[in-house]
Every structure is written in structure tokens, then in C-alpha cells.
């Protein structure tokens, strides 16, 4: 992998399909050097080939966000091989508890959900921030959900809701911590997007849903930080 001195470099977790792949496509079209994190190498190669057919060069790297060593290795490899890291899209997530109630939890599912949706994003952000600080520039976009918004809290999907509510809190905390360093941290809710996690209840395509995350990933200096956005509009926490 090679990059030009001023070319932005982005990592997208879970970037080989659905929303992640749509975001990767858009950022590559804008001239970024894009690395998609994948759990299986073959899935990464297939995504690379699919985008190459569109004239886009995208790289893949094995990345398991639940494995601290995998996270550290992926970020270190990208920074070493491409010389920098400018953008992180925390897109990898699971939804495995649709009918679960808080009063009767399956804690194995709770643990798996939190480890991916919250701790996975946290691990990646913690690894990425030091690299971003080197160039006094960074854009971190956490893909969240309306289900994690305090203004939309309700029953069902309990561990998913908790994980996304925690991700929203992490977004605000990180944004406050890196204020003034050139790093902006925001969250984007894609709505009911046509992906494998939507259970068939969809209202938009991944291509349509990619608009707001891509906008947040390319914010100019002085752009918003610490916010939750839907269709580029602030959504109440």
C-alpha cells in the first residue's frame, strides 16, 4: 500500500458489505486511501475486487474489533504502511437480541453485543487517536442508532440499545477530550437501512444512508463535534 503525502487515510470497521462498503466507496471516490477492516480475509479480497471493477482502489485488513491485539495490529499496520491515519469509521456491529427483555436477559448475548458495538469502537478510537494527533487532524464517526437515543428509549433490543447509548456517551466524552487538537468526533444514525441487521424493516438503501457518515468524515476545520446526526441534522440524545 502506498499513498501520496497529503492523501487522507481512512479505516472502516466492518467495511466489506452494506453500509460500511457504501461509505468506503464514497470516500474512495473522494480520493481517500481507504482500508476496510474485515474479520475474514476472503471477504476483504471480494470487496477489493468489487470496488476495483468500479475503478476504485480500496485495501482490506483483517480486523476483529473484539480482539485488542487485532485492533492494535490493524491500526499500527495502516499507519506504518500508509504513513498516517486521518479517519476512523466505527461501523462494525451486531444485533442479536431483538426479543430480549432487560428483566430476562441472555447475558451471553449482552456480552457479545457490548464487546462489539461499544468496546470494539472504543478500542479502535483509543488506538486511532494517537496516530491522528501526530498530524493534528482526525475525524472519528461512530455509527449509532435511533434505538440508543435517550429520547427514543423503549423496550426490546435491550443490549443493542444499551450498546448504542453507551456509544453515544463515548462520542461525547471523546469529543471533549480531544477538543482543540484538530480531531472531531461525532455519531451518525443511519436509520432503518437495508442491511442484514434490519430484519427486513427498512426505509433506505446503504448508499442513501452513507451520506451523513461521509459528510462527518470529511468535515472542515471548525465543524461540529460531539453530536449525533441523522440526515446531517442533529438528533436529540
Q: Is 110 part of any domain?
A: yes
34 within domain boundaries: yes
Dump pLDDT digits (tens) for 69-79.
999 999 999 99
pLDDT band at 146 (very low <50, low <70, confident <90, very high): confident
pLDDT digit string (tens) for 154-194?
887 899 999 999 999 999 999 999 999 999 999 999 987 65
Q: What is the pLDDT of residue 84?
A: 97
1 within a domain of the structure (yes/no): no
pLDDT of residue 3: 59
Average pLDDT over residues 97-124: 94
Q: What is the pLDDT of residue 115?
A: 98
Q: What is the pLDDT of residue 193?
A: 64
pTM: predicted TM-score of the whole model, two decimal places: 0.93
Q: What percent of the chain has pLDDT over 70?
A: 94
Quickly state the pLDDT bin for 152 (edges 50, 70, 90).
confident
Residue 109, in any domain of the structure:
yes
Is there a domain that residue 198 lies in? yes
Which of 137, 160, 199, 230 is labelled catalytic? 160
Q: Read off the pLDDT of residues 191-205 as tens digits, 9 standing for 90 and up.
A: 876 565 555 566 779
Residue 153 has a CB neighbour count (10 Å cut-off) of 12
Which of the listed ranges 92-106, 125-139, 183-197 does the model predict with the highest average pLDDT? 125-139
Give 3-30 pLDDT, tens digit per residue.
566 799 999 999 999 999 999 999 999 9
The reply to whether 33 falls in a domain is: yes
Share of the chain above pLDDT 90, in %: 81
* Average pLDDT across the chain, whole number: 92
How many domains are contained in the chain?
A: 1
Residue 191 belongs to domain with CATH number: 3.40.50.720
Domain enclosing residue 50, as ranges:
9-234
Q: Is 230 a catalytic residue?
A: no
pLDDT at res. 236: 78
C-alpha cell at 205: 438503501
What average pLDDT does range 92-101 have in this prediction? Answer: 89
Say if 2 falls within a structural domain: no
* 171: in domain: yes
The whole-number pLDDT of residue 42 equals: 94
Amino acid at each position: 500500500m502506498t499513498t501520496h503525502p497529503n492523501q487522507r487515510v481512512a479505516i472502516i470497521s466492518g467495511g466489506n458489505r452494506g453500509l460500511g462498503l457504501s461509505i468506503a466507496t464514497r470516500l474512495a471516490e473522494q480520493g481517500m486511501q481507504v482500508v476496510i477492516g474485515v474479520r475474514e480475509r476472503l471477504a476483504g479480497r471480494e470487496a477489493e475486487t468489487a470496488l476495483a471493477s468500479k475503478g476504485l482502489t480500496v485495501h482490506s485488513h483483517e480486523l476483529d474489533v473484539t480482539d485488542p491485539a487485532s485492533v492494535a495490529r490493524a491500526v499500527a499496520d495502516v499507519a506504518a504502511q500508509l504513513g498516517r491515519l486521518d479517519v476512523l469509521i466505527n461501523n462494525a456491529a451486531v444485533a442479536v437480541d431483538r426479543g430480549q427483555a432487560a428483566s430476562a436477559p441472555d447475558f451471553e448475548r449482552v456480552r457479545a453485543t457490548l464487546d462489539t458495538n461499544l468496546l470494539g469502537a472504543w478500542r479502535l478510537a483509543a488506538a486511532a487517536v494517537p496516530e491522528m494527533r501526530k498530524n493534528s487532524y482526525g475525524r472519528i464517526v461512530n455509527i449509532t442508532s435511533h434505538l440508543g437515543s435517550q429520547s427514543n428509549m423503549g423496550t426490546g433490543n435491550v443490549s443493542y440499545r444499551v450498546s448504542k447509548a453507551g456509544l453515544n456517551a463515548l462520542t461525547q466524552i471523546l469529543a471533549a477530550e480531544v477538543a482543540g487538537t484538530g480531531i472531531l468526533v461525532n455519531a451518525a444514525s443511519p436509520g432503518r437501512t437495508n442491511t442484514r441487521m434490519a430484519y427486513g424493516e427498512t426505509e433506505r438503501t446503504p448508499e442513501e444512508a452513507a451520506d451523513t457518515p461521509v459528510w462527518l468524515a470529511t468535515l472542515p476545520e471548525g465543524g461540529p463535534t460531539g453530536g449525533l446526526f441523522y440526515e446531517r441534522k442533529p438528533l436529540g440524545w
